[in-house]
Amino acid sequence: MTDKAQIAVIGTGWWSTYTHIPGLQNNQDAALVAICDRDAARLDAAAEAYHIEQTYTDHRAMLTQEALDGVVIATNHASHFALARDCLENGLHVLLEKPMTLFAREALELVELARAQQRQLVVGYPYNYLPYAVRSQAIILSGELGQIQFINCVFCSNIISLLRGEHNVSGPVHGPGKVYSNSTLSGGGHGHLQMTHPLGLLYFITGLRARRVSAMMHKHGLALDLVDAMTVEFENGALASIGGTGNLGDGGGRKFDLQIFCENGSLDLDVCTGQAIIYRAEQPPAPIEPAISEADGYRRFHPANNLVDIILGRAENGSPADVGWRAVETLDAAYRSARQEGLPISTALLYKMG
């Protein structure tokens, strides 16, 4: 075991240069060995900005030539599957940005590959590391509140400029450019870029799995979806209403609410304000106390830190691949449903469709 986790980053675009590269450089237990990007100009700009010597335009060459423990993948959505597969097949732990993949079959293949390789595949959902999210998961899985019956989830943000492909969003090195308005690179719009977040938290806390999904999506003049509304039936018979918009009227802020209603009580999470309440039968409402310390929670809030701790044997996977796979299942079914005017899509059929 080395003193530091030997990490490489694939993808040197907006999000990687904004969070992953500086985050790893600020982690005293990590060594950022190399970075990789097919775009040589983008790669060189990131290397210069963060003083990184080893660079590659071919990830396979990097995997062959560098002694690595793990890899962070922060590339366009459509490229996630092939890159993660190559890294797992090379025996590496992987942090894969959300959405895990665009299609359920690909996500399941990565889950099974990580298990076969005995490697951890972390999906980049930072909300799953929040102390009250960890505590909410423990409450639900304990059975204290009984079976889940209904879930309500709303996620709204101001990403309309990203979906328009405008250049008014900047970063320390690169802006996002037009990637999020390009269906070839990103798949869908608000669903794949943003609704994946509440789905990741929902499946992390509940452990549920979707049985079928009905969805409507509207573009409002954009190339990709701006507003999404989903009805989900889970395998245990519970139902959910899940939706949101990427347009807050060009204003700031977000809205992220998750309510989980069970036989004997409920959980109410307002993620933007950090308020989390548990309602038990015949008891007054009470705040959900963290299951982990605030300091530990904030350290783990950065998924790349979790990857480092996993490599060094100090932590378990805080945002496991099963969670990402179930989120992909829901979105895969939702996009197929929306293309058929809300026709319910069984998740079982996703593995038989082209």
Q: 42-73 pLDDT, tens per residue?
A: 999 999 999 999 999 999 999 999 999 999 99
pLDDT of residue 1: 47
Task: Give the integer Cα–Cα distance in Å for 229 and 156.
Answer: 12
Asked whether residue 251 carries a pLDDT value surpassing 70, the answer given is no
pLDDT of residue 297: 54
CATH code given to domain 5-126: 3.40.50.720
pLDDT of residue 354: 62
- Residue 261 φ/ψ region, left for φ over 0, alpha for ψ in the -120 to 50 degree band, beta for the rest: beta
Beta bridge partners of 345: 213
* pLDDT tens digits for range 290-328: 766 555 554 556 899 999 999 999 999 999 999 999 999
Would the pTM of this model clear 0.85, i.e. be above it? yes
Span 340-347, mean pLDDT? 97
Span 266-275, mean pLDDT? 92
Task: Give the integer Cα–Cα distance in Å for 197 and 211.
Answer: 19
Q: Which of the four pLDDT bands, split at 50, 70 and 90, describes residue 282?
A: confident
Q: Which of the four pLDDT bands, split at 50, 70 and 90, describes residue 353?
A: confident
Question: Domain locations in the chain?
Answer: 5-126, 127-293+320-351
Q: In whole numbers, what is the pLDDT of the chain averaged over residues? A: 94
Q: Which two tokens stand for residue 88?
A: 């797992």
Beta bridge partners of 152: 241, 259
Query: Which residues 6+ apart lie within 8 Å of 216 measured at CB?
Result: 228, 229, 338, 341, 342
Q: Which two tokens stand for residue 62?
A: 């990097």
pLDDT of residue 188: 97
Q: What percent of the chain has pLDDT over 70?
A: 95
- CB of 207 closer than 8 Å to CB of 341: no
pLDDT of residue 21: 96
Establish how many alpha carbons lie within 13 A of residue 131's alpha carbon, considering only the half-sphere containing its beta carbon: 15
pLDDT of residue 293: 57
Can you name the CATH fold of 127-293+320-351?
Dihydrodipicolinate Reductase; domain 2 (3.30.360)
Span 197-213, mean pLDDT? 98
* pLDDT tens digits for range 75-134: 999 999 999 999 999 999 999 999 999 999 999 999 999 999 999 999 999 999 998 999
Q: Where are the alpha helices (DSSP H) in the chain?
A: 14-15, 21-25, 40-50, 59-65, 80-89, 104-117, 131-142, 160-164, 183-186, 190, 196-206, 294-300, 303-311, 321-339
